[in-house]
Amino acid sequence: MSIQEETASVCWKSPSNIALVKYWGKRGEQLPANPSISFTLDQATTETNFKVGPKTEGSGISLDFLFENQKNPIFEEKLMPFLEKASRDFAWLNDLHIEISSSNTFPHSSGIASSASAYSAMALCLCSLHEKITGEKLEDFFSTASYWARIGSGSACRSVYGGYNLWGSTPFLEGSSDQVAVNIDHLVHHNFKDFSDTILIIEKGKKAVSSTAGHALLKQHPFAGTRYHLAAENTGKLLNILKAGDLDGFIHLVEAEALMLHALMMTSPTPFILMKPNTLAVLEKIKDFRNQTGLHLLFTLDAGANVHLLNPESEDAKIQEFVKNELIGFCQNQTYFCNHIGKGPELK
* Site residues for ligand PMV per CB under 6 A: 19, 22-24, 36, 113, 115, 153-155, 211, 302-303
Measured from the CB atom, the residue of 17 and 62 that comes closer to ligand PMV is 17
How far apart are CB 66 and ligand PMV at their closest, in Å? Answer: 22
How far apart are CB 153 and ligand PMV at their closest, in Å? Answer: 4
How far apart are CB 186 and ligand PMV at their closest, in Å? Answer: 22
Burial class (CB in 10 A: 0-12, 13-18, 19+), 137: exposed
Measured from the CB atom, the residue of 125 and 218 that comes closer to ligand PMV is 218
Measured from the CB atom, the residue of 18 and 188 that comes closer to ligand PMV is 18
E strands present in the chain: 8-21, 26-27, 31-32, 36-53, 62-67, 70-71, 97-104, 164-167, 181-183, 195-200, 298-301, 307-312, 336-340, 346-347
How far apart are CB 293 and ligand PMV at their closest, in Å? Answer: 29
How far apart are CB 38 and ligand PMV at their closest, in Å? Answer: 6
Measured from the CB atom, the residue of 36 and 143 that comes closer to ligand PMV is 36
Burial class (CB in 10 A: 0-12, 13-18, 19+), 188: buried
Q: How many CA atoms lie within 13 A of 248 on its CB side?
A: 2
Burial 86-120 (b: 16+ CB within 10 A, else e): bbeebebbbbbbbbbbbbbebeeebbbbbbbbbbb
Measured from the CB atom, the residue of 147 and 289 that comes closer to ligand PMV is 147
How far apart are CB 166 and ligand PMV at their closest, in Å? Answer: 11
Contact 235, 37 (CB under 8 A): yes
Measured from the CB atom, the residue of 158 and 296 that comes closer to ligand PMV is 158
Residue 53 to residue 32: CA distance in whole angstroms: 36
Residue type for 56, please?
T
